[in-house]
Structure 1
Amino acid sequence: MAMIAKSTKTTTSLSVPNLFLFFTLLSVFSFFIFLFFTTSTTLNSSPSPHASSTINVYVADLPRSLNYDLLHRYWFSFSDSRLPTDTDHQAPLFPHRTAKFPPYPDNPLIKQYSAEYWIMGDLMTPPKHRATSFAKRVLDPLLADVVFVPFFATLSAEMQLGANKGAFRKKVGNDDYQRQREVMDAVRSTQAWNRSGGRDHVFVLTDPVAMWHVKDEIAPAVLLVVDFGGWYRRDSRGSNRSESDVIPHTQVSVIKDVIVPYTHLLPRLDLSQNKERHLLLYFKGAKHRHRGGIIREKLWDLMINEPGVIMEEGFPNATGREQSIKGMRTSEFCLHPAGDTPTSCRLFDAIQSLCIPVIVSDSIELPFEGMVDYSEFSVFVAVSDALKPSWLFNHLKSFSKEQKDRFRQNMAQVQPIFVYDNGHPGGIGPIPSNGAVNHIWMKVHQKLPMIKEAIIRERRKPPGVSVPRRCHCT
């Protein structure tokens, strides 16, 4: 018995340190495995489209006259009065008159708002080619998480502005208004709308004036907008600032709506193609803008004579595009001041050009926040600081080469996130899994619990009781 006891004691005394060492090594190994799979830059932390369940999307039944047939009208019967020498408005070369899915215009005034075209193109793609899509199209509205309204609202608005701007805010003689009314009459008569009060319907409104006449009717819905700048006042110049001219904040909110990118107008520059940049700061655009544009005018006057700074009037259309490419690719920083609205396509042109954005816009909202950390590749400057003489120039000069290189490396990682074009004719075909369309649907997917909560809250109200919408915008 004594021998047995001694043997047992010896075995026990040897096994404790061995077990301790074993579990220590196992913990260290597990920790490094965890780091391997979870550690990455903030820029790579955007979720994979297939990391969570997809979103079920039902496409509302609207006639082609409200989407693809509008494109046919654009190509063959539309003349944009805003572009007297519109070399960007040329009919496509392929058999376009019979094309089921015409291309979207290259006219930069319209192309920058083309999100509606690419989102719908993905949904119209046959199921066998949609393996990379986060949105799953369903044919029964009862199975849908959201209802997509297939109206090219921005194209409709821009065509009206280009053909007869004077009629835009009127209802008589306004083709865009007639189309808006047709859309709302169609969707509001459906069971899907009545079941949710429109809260689970998705509208693409990339131009701030899209669906201007019916904004109050679509206020409960999920709105895909480039920012909230166009929602604050209907017409600040033509009104007497009466209450009826003010659009309440309850119609737009980061809680229910999704900020989407403008479509970039300049081609992507790969990091391996980046060359020496001899300019400090570049800006191309209009000096004089309305609303928040007063900041731009003051910045222009402060920066125009600084060494290594280029401030140019113009827009990257067919004639100015090459100037913009050259300017953004040879400058360390690209200025992004507020204009008519807090943001513009200029920001996304800068990202594709690997030109570090300098954002001077205190009220800006940015796409895919929470998925992307813009501070990893952009410089944010308070308006009050930027308007101090020489402050901005000295601030940008203070960045080291290492800091600027790191900004560009981070920017190169997020370039694909802001790309809509899938490279297929008419936008019909597989989309990049890490592109803009999938990231938009992932952001809508994040809204689903709030949408369902709002619908349930509305249903439990007694008949005749009306509770005002309350949306926190910040």
Structure 2
Amino acid sequence: MMKWRSLSLPIAIFLAFSLLCLFFFSSYPLSSLPLSSPYPIPTLHHPPLKVYVADLPRSFNYGLLDQFWSLSTPDSRIANPTSDPNPKPINPDPSYPPYPDNPLMQQYSAEYWLLGDLETPPDLRARDSVAVRVYDLEESDVVFVPFFATLSAELQLGWGKKGAFLKKDESSNLDYKRQKEVVERIKRSEAWKRSGGRDHVFVLTDPVAMWHAKADIAPAMLLVVDFGGWYKLDSQSMKNGTVPERIQHTQVSLIKDVIVPYTHLLPTLPISENTVTRHILLYFKGAKHRHRGGLVREKLWDILQNEPDVIMEEGFPNSTGRSQSIKGMRSSQFCLHPAGDTPTSCRLFDAVASLCIPVIVSDNIPLPFEGIIDYSQFSLFISESQALQKNYLVTYLRSISEKRKERLRANMARVQSHFEFDNGFPGGVGPVPRDGAVNHIWEMVYQKVPNVRQAILREKRRPEGVVVPLRCHCT
């Protein structure tokens, strides 16, 4: 009897709680309950990623910025530049110059923010930083190569001799010269010999970065915006005007490489300031004519250009085009994201910053931070075959309820900070936001470390004379 009485109170409490839950969930359908954020702010539940920075002269990173800020002529690729093509920064830190606001360069600036994080003194680092710089190679998890490969390529493309970029000529192609010297220096190092380069990290956010050295650095961990720059084309598939078949290289893989976001070019619109009526259904601004998988863009353009409430217009990377894009994206319910020369572009991250629901038309697109971020919570994914059906896309978008659009936009607001690189400190040297892009990138690198170590150990025990073919798969 005493035993039964001791149990009766807990049982009564449990039954009361169960009835309360049953009443609550039967009274309020799940669709009406407030959404919990599917994107938790990262909490460091593991030791920090230990990063050793390879020894390269300043001329390969911040020295390239010195070179840019000394230029007196405009970027040859930008039509109608402003009167001052390269406005000089006011009182910059001579050790850490700012990254160019030239849109063709700024979108690829991840290399700058990652190195700035590693250059931050220990006493200024945030306690919850995912990465920590170490100065003993034996302590390190990965070796960061401090080469601004994208900036090097862009300087050659914008200010070098036309057509020289593809040539292996050190006198006319200074980018090729730098690529060659970086590879030679890195491969001579004890760090590379120790691992065969597998634990080295290269930031290659421009699809043409390290163009001539891709085979040399293929074993390393590559930080790329997508794998589009690593495809070659099957010329036989060009017959009858069909989209070229993509042949995946063995040099890139989601197993060892990391997809990183572009730096968005448009200012972030907080959801509290989202007060303008979005009277445009679908918006796209960019180049109509693209190559490779981007051929679908031209077909979409022809289908959509005469649709009411749809804007499809040519865009240019200058101040006028930027202003038009800000207004267009902030006035639109949906922003179209078809492939260009490569599967992705900074347009996706501009849409997120503008709270314009992305409509991603792609059958195979890698996205940054998947596993941390669920893109289906704030984006729409449409297959290429569906999108190319006449009237399909606009009919589908018009059928989406206001309630669902509000939910997608609210979820998008929760991830805006995940794509922010700028930490607000001159030269990027200072504590990074816990939920910002830099910390997320280091987190993704950390997740690759076990695979890297496994590959290094397997290589060590490989019998002499045995050749193991590369078998990287990009899915």
Taking structure 2 as the reference length, what is the TM-score of the superposition?
0.89
Amino acid of the residue matched to residue 273 of structure 1? Answer: E
Amino acid of the residue matched to residue 377 of structure 1? Answer: F
Name the SS for the 2:311 alignment partner.
Answer: strand
Match among 87, 90, 105 for residue 110 of structure 1: 105
Is structure 2 residue 129 aligned with structure 1 residue 133? yes
2-structure distance, mates of 1:382, 1:267: 29
1-structure distance, mates of 2:335, 2:18: 47
Question: Which residue of the partner structure matches residue 95 of structure 2?
Answer: 100
Is structure 2 residue 117 aligned with structure 1 residue 122? yes
Deviation at 1:24, TM superposition (A): 7.3
Is structure 2 residue 370 aligned with structure 1 residue 375? no
Gaps of 5+ in 2: 21-33, 240-245
1-structure distance, mates of 2:108, 2:234: 21
Name the SS for the 1:216 alignment partner.
Answer: coil
2-structure distance, mates of 1:22, 1:332: 48
Name the SS for the 1:188 alignment partner.
Answer: helix
- Asked whether the 8 Å contact 1:42–1:372 carries over to 2, the reply is no
> For residues 236 and 159 of structure 1, do their structure 2 counterparts lie closer, same or farther at Cα, with a shift above 3 Å needed?
farther
> For residues 27 and 394 of structure 1, do their structure 2 counterparts lie closer, same or farther at Cα, with a shift above 3 Å needed?
closer
Amino acid of the residue matched to residue 211 of structure 1? Answer: M
2-structure distance, mates of 1:27, 1:174: 72
Deviation at 1:420, TM superposition (A): 0.6
2-structure distance, mates of 1:337, 1:423: 32
- Asked whether the 8 Å contact 1:268–1:352 carries over to 2, the reply is yes
2-structure distance, mates of 1:25, 1:193: 64
Deviation at 1:234, TM superposition (A): 7.8
Deviation at 1:247, TM superposition (A): 7.5
> For residues 432 and 297 of structure 1, do their structure 2 counterparts lie closer, same or farther at Cα, with a shift above 3 Å needed?
same
Deviation at 1:291, TM superposition (A): 1.1
Identity across matched positions, percent: 62
> For residues 415 and 304 of structure 1, do their structure 2 counterparts lie closer, same or farther at Cα, with a shift above 3 Å needed?
same
Is structure 2 residue 10 aligned with structure 1 residue 15? no
Question: Which residue of the partner structure matches residue 263 of structure 1?
Answer: 263
Name the SS for the 1:416 alignment partner.
Answer: helix
Name the SS for the 1:164 alignment partner.
Answer: coil
- Asked whether the 8 Å contact 1:46–1:372 carries over to 2, the reply is no
Aligned-pair Cα RMSD in Å = 2.4
> For residues 330 and 23 of structure 1, do their structure 2 counterparts lie closer, same or farther at Cα, with a shift above 3 Å needed?
closer
Q: How many residues align?
A: 448
Question: Which residue of the partner structure matches residue 427 of structure 1?
Answer: 428
2-structure distance, mates of 1:444, 1:78: 38
The worse-fitting range, judged by mean Cα deviation, of 311-320 and 246-255 is: 246-255
Deviation at 1:312, TM superposition (A): 1.1
- Asked whether the 8 Å contact 2:80–2:318 carries over to 1, the reply is no
Name the SS for the 2:86 alignment partner.
Answer: coil
**Pairing 1:222-371 to 2, within 5 Å after superposition:** 222-233=221-232, 249-275=249-275, 276-371=277-372
Question: Over residues 1-48 of structure 1, what are the superposed CA-to-partner deviations in whole Å (9 max), with x where a residue is unaligned?
Answer: xxxxxxxxx42342243454578789999xxxxxxxxx9746323533
Question: Which residue of the partner structure matches residue 410 of structure 2?
Answer: 409
Deviation at 1:463, TM superposition (A): 2.5
2-structure distance, mates of 1:207, 1:23: 58
Match among 165, 168, 171 for residue 168 of structure 1: 165
Taking structure 1 as the reference length, what is the TM-score of the superposition?
0.90
The worse-fitting range, judged by mean Cα deviation, of 157-166 and 413-422 is: 157-166
Amino acid of the residue matched to residue 115 of structure 1? Answer: A
- Asked whether the 8 Å contact 2:79–2:318 carries over to 1, the reply is no
Amino acid of the residue matched to residue 439 of structure 1? Answer: H
Whichever of the two has the greater Rg, that structure is 1
> For residues 154 and 93 of structure 1, do their structure 2 counterparts lie closer, same or farther at Cα, with a shift above 3 Å needed?
closer
Name the SS for the 1:218 alignment partner.
Answer: coil
1-structure distance, mates of 2:397, 2:461: 56
Match among 60, 71, 75 for residue 77 of structure 1: 71
Is structure 2 residue 462 aligned with structure 1 residue 440? no
Deviation at 1:359, TM superposition (A): 0.4
